């Protein structure tokens, strides 16, 4: 009696170069191996992505939410910003930079970080009179202020080495270095470089 193949047709003598049943079994086993390899590859990709995200957040970029109006109109309540934590490893802190820094010891704990603009640099003497800011006795142009915004009188204040005098752009409502003093360099987290929300205001800062 002739043997019957899986198709139902008579099958001739099997040869070493044509093992039909072996081929069928081989292809059947390969499929789960490919699926398993695919899952492993995706798990590795996801794990690497998570690690990269954690490292980037911890050492490079971090996002913040603006809760108050102290930096209006540059930063509005509800804005979401990106801070470059390595920016000042590559260039010095300059007047006009917007920075995030850790709260002063006297500040309420519900605000662990603050955002202000750098106005005075280490070693300078800063003061305000007649609504204007003076650095070492010279009038400081402040193009970042809205028309009509003035600065209440203070100083003169000598800024210690390694510290920075910061103020909000909305001077009448901003609690800043006029109240808690200059900010040490070690407490500055990084530079505000981008606004990503709301979409109508997305862009560099």
pLDDT by position in tens, the chain (length 205)? 322 233 333 344 333 333 443 343 444 454 556 767 777 766 665 655 555 555 555 557 899 999 999 999 999 999 999 999 999 999 999 999 999 999 998 888 888 899 999 999 999 999 999 999 999 999 999 999 999 999 999 999 999 999 999 999 999 999 999 999 999 999 999 999 999 999 999 999 9
**Which of 85, 116, 127, 174 is labelled catalytic?**
116
Told to judge if 27 belongs to the known catalytic residues of this protein, a careful annotator would answer no
CA torsion 162→168→169→172, rounded to 10°? -130
Told to judge if 161 belongs to the known catalytic residues of this protein, a careful annotator would answer no
With CA atoms as reference, report the closest residue to 179 among 113, 68, 123, 103: 103
The model's pTM: 0.74
Burial of 167 (0-12, 13-18, 19+ CB in 10 A): buried
**Which of 5, 68, 70, 152 is labelled catalytic?**
70
What DSSP letter does each residue of 104-156 carry, written as one string? PTTS-TT--EEEEEEEE-TT-EEEEETBEEEETTEE---TTSPTT--B--EEE
DSSP, res 199: G
Do residues 99 and 118 make contact, with C-beta atoms less than 8 angstroms apart?
Answer: yes
d(CA 155, CA 133): 10
């Amino acid at each position: 009696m002739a043997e019957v193949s899986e198709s139902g047709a008579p099958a001739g003598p099997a040869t070493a170069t044509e093992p039909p049943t072996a081929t069928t079994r081989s292809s059947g086993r390969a499929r789960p191996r490919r699926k398993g390899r695919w899952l492993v590859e995706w798990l590795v990709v996801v794990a690497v992505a998570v690690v990269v995200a954690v490292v980037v957040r911890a050492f490079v970029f971090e996002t913040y939410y603006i809760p108050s109006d102290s930096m209006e109109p540059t930063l509005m309540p509800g804005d979401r910003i990106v801070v470059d934590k390595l920016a000042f490893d590559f260039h010095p802190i300059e007047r006009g930079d917007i920075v995030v820094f850790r709260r002063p010891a006297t500040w309420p704990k519900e605000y662990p970080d603050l955002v202000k603009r750098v106005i005075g640099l280490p070693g300078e003497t800063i003061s305000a009179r007649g609504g204007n800011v003076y650095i070492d006795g010279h009038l400081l142009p402040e193009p970042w202020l809205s028309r009509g915004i003035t600065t209440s009188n203070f100083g003169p204040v000598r800024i210690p080495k390694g510290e920075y005098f910061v103020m909000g752009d909305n001077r009448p409502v901003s609690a800043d270095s006029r109240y808690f003093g200059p900010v040490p360099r070690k407490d500055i987290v990084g530079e505000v470089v981008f606004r990503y929300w709301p979409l109508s205001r997305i862009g560099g800062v």
